[in-house]
């Protein structure tokens, strides 16, 4: 794959995802808020492991 083909592929995917649009940014904000909530819940109860290796 040439650099030009790679750039065209990335540009097409960015267009498909709507990167930079208000809808994209709103969804990104929602996802980041959800991730923060999950992290805060995990900090409140560190007894629950998220690592499969630690669960064994």
Q: What is the pLDDT of residues 2-52, one digit of tens each?
A: 999 999 999 999 999 999 999 999 999 999 999 999 999 998 886 766 566
Asked if residue 32 is part of any domain, the answer here is yes
pLDDT of residue 45: 84
Grouping H, G, I as helix, E, B as strand and the rest as coil, residue 50 is coil
Asked if residue 10 is part of any domain, the answer here is yes
Judged against a pLDDT cut of 60, whether residue 55 lies above it is answered with no
Asked if residue 34 is part of any domain, the answer here is yes
Asked if residue 53 is part of any domain, the answer here is no
Number of domains in the chain: 1
Residue 55 CB partners (closer than 8 Å, separation 6+): 49
pLDDT of residue 27: 96
Tell me which residue of 16, 44, 38 sits closest to 30, measured CA to CA. Answer: 38
Half-sphere exposure for 40 (CA within 13 Å, toward CB): 6
Q: Domain range for residue 17?
A: 3-44
């Amino acid at each position: 794959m040439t650099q030009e083909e790679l750039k065209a592929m990335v540009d097409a995917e960015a267009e498909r995802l709507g990167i930079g649009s208000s809808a994209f940014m709103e969804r990104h904000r929602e996802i980041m808020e959800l991730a923060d909530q999950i992290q805060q819940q995990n900090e409140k109860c560190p007894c629950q492991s998220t690592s499969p290796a630690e669960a064994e």
